[in-house]
Amino acid sequence: MKNKVLIVAVHPDDETLGCGGTLLKHKANGDEIHWLICTTIDKSHSYYKIREEEIEKFIKMHRLNEDIIKAQVNALDLESTIGRAKFEDYEAVFVRNLEAFKSQDIQYGIFGDIDLDKHRKWEETVCEKAQMTAVLPLWQEDRKKLVKEFIDLGFKARIVVVNKTMMSPEFLGRDLSHELLEEIEKTGADVCGENGEYHTVVYDGPLFKTPLNLNFSKEVKDIEGKWAKIEVLI
C-alpha cells in the first residue's frame, strides 16, 4: 500500500538532517512525499517569545536564497509548500497548510526533533488541530549516532553558520565528516548542533537526483558579535 507522507521542517535542511533515513525508506516504498517548511508559535503559548527570538536569529543567520530551497526541492524530487505568515498569525497559517494536506488524504506529519519536549508538544498540538498525527521517528535517539548515520548514508552538508560563543569560525565552509565530528566534540559543542552551535546547507546525498551547484563564499560575516556566517549562492 502506497502512503502519502508530509515532512514538516522548521528550517530548510531539517528534513534531510533529521529524516534522511526515513525519507529513503518511503521513497523506496514508492510513497508520495510532501515537504512543508515552517517556524514559530502563537502568542497564547508561553514559548512564543523564545520562538520569536529564534526566528529573528534564524532570519539573520540563514537567510537562504529561496532559489536554493527550490533547487533542493527539485533535486529531492519533492512537492513543496512554503508557508508565509507574520508572527501573530503564524500558527493559524501553519494549521491551514496542514489542513490542506489533510484534504489530500495525508494523515501524518513527520518531524525531525530528537529530544526537545517543547518542540514536540507544539508539533503534536498543531497536527491535532488539523486532525493529523505527528510522527517523530528520531525521538530520544542518540544525537551523535544520528549525525554519524547521516554521514554514512552519503549526505553532504557544509557548515555555513556558527555560534562564536560555542564554536570557532574556522569550522565555516567545512563538510560534516567523522573527523570533523571529533573536532566539534573536543570543543564541548554538541556534534548534532542541537543547541544552535552550527547550521548547515545539505547539497547532495542519496535522495538527490543531482548535487546542488552552490557557491560558498570565503568571506566570513559577523552577525551581532555572536554569530559568524558565509554566504551561499546558486
CA-CA-CA-CA torsion sign (151, 40, 119, 4): negative
Does 15 have pLDDT greater than 70? Answer: no
Give the model's pLDDT for residue 81.
Answer: 86
Please list the residues that pair with 175 across neighbouring strands.
158
Other beta carbons within 10 angstroms of residue 144's beta carbon come to 14
Phi, psi of 140 (to 5 degrees): 65, 15
Fold designation for 4-135 = Rossmann fold (3.40.50)
Give the model's pLDDT for residue 11.
Answer: 60
Residue type for 102, please?
K
Domain 143-233 in CATH 3.90.1490.10? The answer is yes
Domain ranges of the chain: 4-135, 143-233
Tell me the per-residue pLDDT of 21-61, one tens digit each, with 9 for 90 and over. 677 777 777 888 887 766 544 455 555 565 556 555 555 55
Cα pseudo-dihedral 161, 167, 170, 175, rounded to 10: -60
Predicted confidence band at 79 (pLDDT cuts at 50, 70, 90)?
Answer: confident
Closest alpha carbon to 200 in 222, 223, 177, 219: 177
219 and 232 Cβ atoms separated by less than 8 Å: no
Give the model's pLDDT for residue 41.
Answer: 45
Arithmetic mean of pLDDT over the chain: 85
CA distance 187 to 190: 9
Cell of 93: 497559517
Give the model's pLDDT for residue 165.
Answer: 93
Does 12 have pLDDT greater than 90? Answer: no
Does 194 have pLDDT greater than 60? Answer: yes
Residues in the chain: 234
Q: Provide the percentage of residues in the chain whose pLDDT is more than 70.
A: 82
Q: Is the model more confident about 18 or about 83?
A: 83
Other beta carbons within 10 angstroms of residue 19's beta carbon come to 24
218 and 167 Cβ atoms separated by less than 8 Å: no
CA distance 138 to 22: 9
Residue type for 116, please?
L
End-to-end, the C-alpha distance of the chain in Å comes to: 38
Q: Is the model more confident about 42 or about 162?
A: 162
